[in-house]
């Protein structure tokens, strides 16, 4: 005679097929259901990145190096010849913008004359040169004529371009603080994109260094 157990023993026996346990096959289904939404979100983020990258521009007053690889800010400046030179008019050919503090001062004169003496090489490299300072167009005209400069000088009288490019900075001289141009140069390609930046320029050998970079454009 076999022992079948009492009714109380039968109640204590665990039910191995409990309906409350989540079946294992349902987990992959849930994971697969979540993947399409994640993939769509990733696709949207990827699609937005190129737009954000192209649209990103340094804010006004950002350091000069922040413009590397970015399109130079739009500008329209008067030249020593009384003409208006704009960023749009320069698109299509590479150019140099060199910022200097003041016309007809020792360092600025030497820098201008160095660009003058190497101008034939810049022309062969199809690289235009523009000097920029806060001086007036009239001051530029006298400076250019005095030293026979073969390139245009642009007047940034309100410092708008210098501020945008981060070269209008606080300076110190004999204990006195003031705002002024930080001697800087920007090499810009034919698409208007800044390819090289020189800050706190030392005049000696600078024009040659800029010309050497022309081959990278």
Given a contact cutoff of 8 angstroms between Cβ atoms, the answer to whether 56 and 66 are in contact is no
Give residue-wise pLDDT tens across range 42-94: 444 434 433 333 333 444 445 667 889 999 999 999 999 999 999 999 999 99
Q: What is the dihedral of CA 126, 64, 131, 125, to 10 degrees?
A: -10
Q: What are the catalytic residues?
A: 108
Rounded distance between C-alpha atoms, residue 217 and residue 126, angstroms: 11
Q: Where in the chain are the domains?
A: 64-216
Averaged pLDDT score across all residues of the chain: 80
pTM of the full structure: 0.71
Q: Tell me which CATH homologous superfamily contains domain 64-216.
A: Glutaredoxin (3.40.30.10)
Rounded distance between C-alpha atoms, residue 39 and residue 32, angstroms: 11
Q: What average pLDDT does the segment 160-181 reach? A: 93
Instruction: Measure the N-to-C terminal CA separation of the chain; round to a whole number of Å.
Output: 101
Return all residues near 3 (Cβ < 8 A) that are at least 6 apart: none
Q: What is the dihedral of CA 202, 79, 156, 94, to 10 degrees?
A: -60
pLDDT of residue 61: 43
Rounded distance between C-alpha atoms, residue 90 and residue 189, angstroms: 10
Give residue-wise pLDDT tens across range 90-111: 999 999 999 999 999 999 999 9
Which H helix or E strand runs over 186? strand 184-188
């Amino acid at each position: 005679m076999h022992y079948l157990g009492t009714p109380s023993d039968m109640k204590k026996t665990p039910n191995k097929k409990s309906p409350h346990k989540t079946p294992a096959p349902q987990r992959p289904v849930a994971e697969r259901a979540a993947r399409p939404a994640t993939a769509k979100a990733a696709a949207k983020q990827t699609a937005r990145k190129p737009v954000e990258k192209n649209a990103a521009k340094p804010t006004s007053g950002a350091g000069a190096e922040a413009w590397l690889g970015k399109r130079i800010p739009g500008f329209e400046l008067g030249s020593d010849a009384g003409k208006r030179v704009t960023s749009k008019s320069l698109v299509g050919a590479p150019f140099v913008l060199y910022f200097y503090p003041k016309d007809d001062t020792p360092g600025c004169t030497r820098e201008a004359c160095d660009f003058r003496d190497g101008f034939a090489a810049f022309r062969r490299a199809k690289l235009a040169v523009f000097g920029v300072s806060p001086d007036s167009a009239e001051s530029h005209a006298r400076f250019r004529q005095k030293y026979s400069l073969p390139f245009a000088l642009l007047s940034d009288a309100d410092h708008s371009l210098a501020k945008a490019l981060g070269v209008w900075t606080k300076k110190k001289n004999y204990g006195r603080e003031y705002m002024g141009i930080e001697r800087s140069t920007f090499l810009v390609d034919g698409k208007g994109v800044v390819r090289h930046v020189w800050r706190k320029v030392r005049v000696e050998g600078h024009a040659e260094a800029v010309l050497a970079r022309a081959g990278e454009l």
